[in-house]
Structure 1
Amino acid sequence: MTTELSPHHHLHGQSFFDHLRRSLENLCAAHTAPPNAESTATTTPPDASPSAPLSQDPVIECTDVVRAYTRGGGRGLFSRNTQATTVTAVDSVSATIDRGELVGIAGPSGSGKSTLLHLLAALETPDSGQITITGTDTASLSERGRTRLRREHVGIVFQRFHLLPSLTATQNVALPLIEHGVGKRDRRARAQTLLEAVGLGDRLTHRPATLSGGEQQRVAVARALAGDPDVVIADEPTGELDSAASETVLDILADVATEHAVVVASHDPAAIERMDRVIRLRDGTRDTDGHA
């Protein structure tokens, strides 16, 4: 059972991916199609709901994962030697994230949400247990290998946006595509298509300082999607936004989850209510897991 979405789930009367798919098909046709070639792009069948979950397709599999940190154990400038203590931030957590679902991670401060999110994004590796992203064990990779894995399969949305202030919205979204080897013209076209899909077609040349918090976060979501990742991981994506801007960002993430896996860590009850499924943590372990 999926939590019912708000009436604003589809932006401007159409889903994010309806708009994006048509725009990208037109873009690809303009750049690559022979003059009389028939389009071979795959489209959604007329009787298929664009927001219906896809068949089970694991993107991330997490098995008995443990991650611990050592605190103390040194001598401060004005203190005696302190005894090192080990804090287990994530303790024997297992989870599967499928393509086509919007999964929340919830729990009080200190419950292990941020650590689990970093593990799922391959920003860290577990001390024991296993995490695979599209079948690849993250712990088996070097730091360079994990960077490549993130670039090819993971999009990350941060609470504080992390946009480059000197670049326009289009340039911020296009920036990750340089690492993908995409040419300048195609980078700009894809970035503009993504920004139009998140409702920012009239903000293409604006720099972050001239955008509202909600608009900046939409730019950040578009940037996370630039490389067409298998999973989008969002850390408190509505934490800096008012309720109206939060709803818009959640609408977009819900639409993104029709074709990608999306993981959202949040303290916001309104955000958690929008999830298809919620992984609740307490003291580093799974507390409950179910529908929002």
Structure 2
Amino acid sequence: MNQVVLRTPAGEAPAPAASYDDLVARVRAGEFGPDPSTQRIAVAFSTRQSVRHEGREGGYRNEVLSLRLGAAVGSCAVEPGELPDAAIEDCVGADLDRLLGHELRPVRVAALDTYLMHVRPHTPANGARPWSLPAGSSLRKSRARARAVTGLIDVVPGARVLVIGVVNSLLEALRERGLAYVPCDLKGGTTEWGEPVHTDAFAELERCDAVLASGMTLGNGSFEPLREHALRHRKPLVMFAQTGSAVLPGFLGSGVSAVCAEPYPFFWLDGGSGIVHRYHGETPGAAR
């Protein structure tokens, strides 16, 4: 398979994106590789999942839009039931430049993720460090992924982490590290341990020492304010990304301190072993 060569000097990574819109503009200008108007989506599909791990009281549902370009699959999670069926049909055969300007944000994010997966796959040459997930139950794999994610948060024990996108395995892993947390999710509710889940993450930012956020923030439009806050306050921002796994490494050094990237197929789709890809950037104000 032919690899796409980046339009950057040999041995140099592209400069960090100044904003989400800046990254999109650079992609559309062909800075990272071929003109996206020449790249057409062959396959578009959605994946729906409902889960309740053994031994857990609560469960959750996922729905993800994915687009395929060659060997690359890019994704964006949506709230279950919110993606019109027509959106999938609209993507098939469309060029990526058109989809980057689509009226639906999840389509735009999935298109950007697909393009960047195509030109900057998760390889060591592009800064990715593989982390193996064991075969086994969904809970075993969830806990293994949680350790990969939370290990990227460079703070001292006792620090308070704002968690945006509540995953109980992540909260469990933070507890094991001796870190406090403030759970936030638009769905509200309570955690596995009966803790209230806040619905306004921005109201909690000032009292937290670090932020751990889902890539779903790309799909709902809350990523940019989070990135700007982290950059302005030199606060660690770690992203765990099924949505936008190839997009978020582009912000390392521009507000994002680390990324745990998990492209399709996700850990909950297969009982076999798997891999996530960890990216490390500079951690503002980190304890050494």
TM-score range, shorter chain: under 0.3
